[in-house]
A and B are shown apart, each in its own frame.
Chain A
Amino acid sequence: MYPSVIEEYLRPGSVSEALAAVARYDEGEAMFLAGGQSAMQAMKSRMLRPQCVVDLQDITELRGITRDGGALRIGAMTRYVDIAGDAALDGAFGALRDAASHVGDRQVRNRGTIGGSVCWNYVASCMPAVVLGLGGTLELAAADGSTRRLEADDFFLGPLETARREDEILLAVSWPAPPARRGSAYKKWGLVRDALPVVGVCVQVTLGGDGNCLQARVALSGLAGGCQRAQAGEDLLVGCSGDASAIDRALDAIAGSVETHSDMSADADYRRQLIRSIGSEVAATAFARARGD
């Protein structure tokens, strides 16, 4: 299977060139190409039929993990393999490495990018859930030179839908310096090793000096509604020390509150059980990382 006819393939050297190229086409006719691990599937199955493909591979300003003090900025074209290989992404940002190390397979991780993943926002994907769970900021640029920043909560709208306009490029995902004693973790479960998640859980916790949780964010992957927060559980994690019973109570509340479905991979109740089991493990890891264990 191969794509429908592509009239124009461009490989611009800058963001402004890339934006200008897409701006020359009407809506739905041109697309940006990042790692292609999802886009090529869509093009080969003809779900997408772009007339123009704008390949972002030469735009060096879109690649790389940069730090400014504790603030973190990951260029949209940064590959999973490079995120997975950055040992300094631990503690508050551990969930990023947890997710990036297990997306797809190693061939996919050599090409796929964080920007491609969050902009495609496939219903089951890991990176959107992690960016949502960690409360990242999405930096977007438009052809008129303007930029805007969206919080993750406002960026992910639903399966395959984000707030990015078709003529905007995602430049980077970024975070301010995290407070001390913040930890995060992510784990998924699928039918085989590293499969697309039937369910995945991301937990981020911030502890006070007394070791009790001040703030928590929980996001889920794998559900039919796409990546989503689980506020029912977040509230129950606040105030606890990360003890097993508090974590179990929080994950029970989350499992009870989310909408799950039955399909060939798992039935609705089993998805809830997976959320409980995986979520408990992930929450415990997040607490441990926050404590610096």
Chain B
Amino acid sequence: MKTITVTVNGTSYEESVPERMLLVDFLRDRLALTGTHVGCTYEGVCGACTVHLDGEAVKSCLMLAVQADGHAVTTVEGLAGEGGPGPLQRAFSNSHGLQCGFCTPGILMNMSDFLARHPDPSDEEIRSGLVGNLCRCTGYVHIVRAVRDAAREMREGASEVQA
């Protein structure tokens, strides 16, 4: 067992964990943050477990919890700001970007990081950004639309602030 200190969604947690515990299981089982999902087995291919580690999208099933010691993690529970769901979350709601919703947290976490680095992406760039997230329900069309709409709103919001 090892004692780790991880900041999750702004709150610092000190926990004693088995060395082999996965970060996704730490978040879900130890911290009860079940918004992060496990959608595949050992491959780490589905992306439903995507969170931010120090602000970058990573697959939490491909990390040990002990690797996050001293780092900051953001999960989907921490995505909304003070004013409630942000542009990306609202765009998914408005554009029917989810059906069962199982893949959605991973996509929101991946795309929020993606849009921070690519504020004006083409549809092709969005699709390339989504390679690490598998969705079985939607066929991705409305997901791409939601990301595009969110990007536009975020750009317009930014230019309003500057004006």
Interface residues of A (CB under 8 A from B): 1-9, 11, 33, 36-37, 40-41, 43-45, 53, 55, 57, 104-108, 110-111, 192-194
Contacts and interface: CB of A to CB of B under 8 A. Distances in A.
A270 B129 CA distance: 28
Contacts of A44: 22, 41-42, 44, 61
Interface stretch (B63-71, B85-93, B97-105, B148-156): B63-71
B132 A2 contact: no
A40 B56 contact: no
10 contacts: A5-B20, A6-B18, A11-B69, A36-B62, A44-B41, A106-B113, A106-B129, A110-B58, A193-B127, A193-B128
A212 B29 CA distance: 63
Given A41-B44, A106-B110, A107-B50, A4 B132 contact: no
Interface residues on B, range: 20 to 34
Interface in B91-134: 110, 113-114, 127-129, 131-133
A142 to B, nearest CB: 25
B6 interface: no
Contact of A105 (B25, B47, B53): B47
B122 to A, nearest CB: 14
B128 A107 contact: no
**Interface SS, B side:** mixed
Contact of B132 (A5, A7, A57, A104): A104
Nearest to A39: B62
A108 B129 CA distance: 11
A111 B57 CA distance: 9
Contacts of B132: 104-108
Contact of A2 (B20, B59, B114): B20
B21 interface: yes
Given A7-B19, A9-B19, A41-B44, A106 B114 contact: yes
Given A2-B20, A8-B19, A107-B132, 7 more contacts: A2-B21, A6-B20, A9-B66, A57-B67, A106-B131, A193-B128, A193-B131
A193 B56 CA distance: 22
Nearest to B47: A107
A5 B132 CA distance: 28
B62 A2 contact: no
